[in-house]
Structure 1
């Protein structure tokens, strides 16, 4: 229980007026971004990175974290009222949330979603406070071999477990690793892939890639893919759910909290995967699964609880190991590095004000979101009527000015445009940009860890298997890598066996029918 004192002190940090103000600003922006289709928290955090440069580290991370979990709330509003998911993690909420709205129970759906989100986020915060210091304590045993094995496993999980086509995700991750090699060699200082351009000697800036792929790329794509305007259903009324609704949704909220917390920690997991898995589980457990898609309250409660729990737990690998679990956490890692803070096992002891301040800000932020979520519904729906042609140019200008203010470099603005076009093309042709950015972030750590490890082992790669933690991670790597092939072989084997048994069954039936005749 030695974490109680710093945890209590963390409330003193977050309750400072400036931190409380930026916590409110963060969750308000997050809700707004969640309502606006297409942009998402990843792009927003990337665009706002330059603003965080002049803030205190604790204040900046509190605001950016608020944007992330606030967006999970906002995406629910349009999913229920307009059948338009403002955030990817709210896609499955559309199925039953909009069905409830058509039945005149939009208020019930939004109320259940708000309560479930609060419960999932709050339970995940307690889990974060309990498990993060423990993980950080064990992470002190990590050396270059362990970090190398974990980074390789992380890249593989992002490429194979995440959303989208697996081959396309692997290609995107490979491109990200290649981009991480641009610049000076970390050991010899020799230039690599700079093509004689002095601006590339220090490598490609993370902010240029993030703001280009997630910011400008999303803006260009959203202009092309304009969403159809749909009419708002009946007015929101009876926001507080009945006792019967709460009882019916309680099990889904409990399962969603545990599931979201577990999947949020995994690289490639996150809020979107958690909400989809939660919906699938609730539908399988239901006595009458045909209710789902027609207004099942569990179909709203489970996914909304899971995505908020996952949004919170994804901070564990970032803060304790310095490894982002998803694309948004990669942007958060960039924000920490800009502030001169390297996340990892030492963060809990060296920067307890930041660690516990951020964790406790999530608790305050979830209370603010619960209070704000319903009264602001009408305002957020009106914002949807603002034309894309007005919002897009303003956002693009802010993006370019933001990247320029960091290093006063025209070349960085050119990079943002280049990666913006790349991000647009990736989205247009079905490539997920998340693996690219995550692999780019992990690429530097992977290269340095592998090369340091090979020096420790005198060039003997089998040395990774002599250390328990790295050997375990390597075994997990091969299990994840070979699992899809094993599953295909198993399915093919079962299909062959079923085909062999069918003729025998038919022959037996013919013999029996002959005897009867």
Structure 2
């Protein structure tokens, strides 16, 4: 009954004219952000966060969360229509989405992805409503050692999923940790790496860094790839009046893919660092393994689109659980959302849902309504979004650059922060070009100061004895999980190398 009463409280907050208006804005902007190839929700949230500074925190986070999960809907439109993922979480949607479009099934594919996104997002929010209070209760038993280990695991997970670029991920995270220590030491009161600049005494604010890395950096990278002068890609045309709705056969073939993708996506999304991209790729692999007709995948098979679409939206919902209950972001997008919480003086963690129920349950309830809005917009505004995709990129470049600059300067009226944004725009471009991880840098910057404080608190509690991390059950469990995360890939790599050498010897 507590969950139902909390949801009722949340809906009473959401169903106000102001919150509904900003939810609509967030959902619509999220779809636009998703449609712009390579841009993604992190850049959209980072750029628009500065514009929400004067809003009520609940209203602002409702809008920003709408951008976050709304981009999952929009990103698939380009995946299906022009074989270009709007962002990384919709890569798997190109595998069968574009072949469906080439077969003249673009209408059914777009409708089906909207329904899959709605089902995945809604199941994800239902599971949040059920699981979040229990996660919060568990987290209340956490002390500084447990929080420190959880933060380290979040960073480790983000580094591990980088595949062959793990070293670059480590370097990115270390750079973020180095930036996090700029400012005043909370224990000694000494200034660290401020270089005599009064504006750096409070540290390097995460938002200029995030806008630079994800906004300006993505802009520079797209321009360097020739997006500003490239001709408009071939758009597959379709007629809204015919061949728009999926067939009965396609619904029947996909019925279990909706559920499998949603459940898999949610539980993958709960893992810090895993995220929607991993969930969608895992879902595609799962659908292919359980299918009685795996040969159809990659040739325009509807379950191959439905599974990943359900998974990436459920994962974006699942990622809200560690953010709300532990204060641990699992991706660049949720790292920026965490920074937004802190900007408004709200500390995500086990007490957030107890001390600020209006905020936390207002956010959760808004996701129910947001998914309803998004499925309606996604289906009936498809022609509009197709036209938006035809806008030449060179028109977007100056608009995005101006938004980034004005948004950063308007935060604190600081020219230093504006220069920081531009510098990290260049750094973000170089990181993307050479395979480093801007997400790991931002995550480390947001978590760095909290990780330092919890580490020092833990050592004060134990009089400098590191055994405090091994003698507490939860801390030890997290440590063992991290050990498995590190050792398992090494064993797998050694096994593959051994099998390869063995096959070479036999030949």
TM range (shorter): over 0.9
Distance change (3 Å), C-alpha of 1:163 and 1:273: farther
Residue 171 to residue 346, structure 1, CA distance change in 2 (3 Å): same
Partner of residue 481, structure 1:
486
Aligned residue in 2 for 1:71:
71
1:382-432 Cα shifts (integer Å, max 9, x gaps): 122222222111111111111111111111101001111100110111212
Which of 415, 422, 445 lines up with 1:417 in the alignment? 422
Q: Are the counterparts in 2 of residues 162 and 273 from structure 1 also a CA contact under 8 Å?
A: no
Distance in 2, matches of 1:139 and 1:92, equals 34
TM-score of the two chains, using structure 2 as the length reference: 0.96
* 1:193 and 2:196 correspond: no
**Secondary structure at 1:148's aligned position in 2?**
helix
- State the partner residue of 2:436: 431
For the 8 Å contact 1:239–1:374, the answer to whether it is kept is no
Q: Does 1:346 align with 2:351?
A: yes
- Runs ≥4 in structure 1, deviation > 6 angstroms? none
- Check the 8 A contact 2:23/2:62 in 1, yes or no: yes
What residue in structure 1 maps to residue 403 of structure 2? 398
Give the root-mean-square deviation of aligned CA atoms. Answer: 1.6
CA-CA distance at 1:293 after TM superposition: 1.4
Match of 1:327 among 329, 332, 338: 332
- Aligned match of 2:265: 260
The Cα of 1:494 is off from its aligned counterpart by 4.2
Question: d(CA) in 2 for partners of 1:115 and 1:93?
Answer: 14
Q: Tell me what 1:113 maps to.
A: 113
Greater CA deviation, 236-245 or 463-472? 236-245
In 2, Cα distance between equivalents of 1:230 and 1:385: 8
Q: C-alpha displacement at 1:211, in angstroms?
A: 0.9
Kept after mapping to 2: 8 A contact 1:264/1:314: yes
* Alignment correspondent of 1:138: 138
CA deviation profile, 1:156-198 (whole Å, cap 9, x unmatched): 1111124672221121111111111111112111122223333
What is the rounded CA distance, in whole Å, between the counterparts of 2:345 and 2:164 in structure 1? 34
**What is the match of residue 100 of structure 1?**
100
Q: Distance in 2 between matches of 1:325 and 1:98?
A: 29
| Residue of structure 2 equivalent to 1:280 | 285
Q: 2: CA distance between counterparts of 1:105 and 1:494? A: 43
In 2: Cα distance, 1:336 partner to 1:238 partner: 45
Counterparts of 2:401 and 2:504, CA distance in 1: 58
Aligned length: 502
Aligned match of 1:149: 149
Q: CA deviation at 1:215?
A: 1.1
CA distance in 1, matches of 2:105, 2:330: 36
> C-alpha displacement at 1:31, in angstroms?
0.8
1:374 shift after superposition: 1.9
SS of structure 2 residue aligned to 1:3: helix
For residues 240 and 159 of structure 1, the distance between their equivalents in structure 2, rounded to whole angstroms, comes to 41
In structure 2, the residue matched to 1:513 is none
Q: Equivalent residue for 2:238?
A: 235
> Mapping of 1:352-391 within 5 angstroms?
352-391=357-396
- Partner of 1:52 in structure 2? 52
Residues 1:490 and 2:495 are matched in the alignment = yes
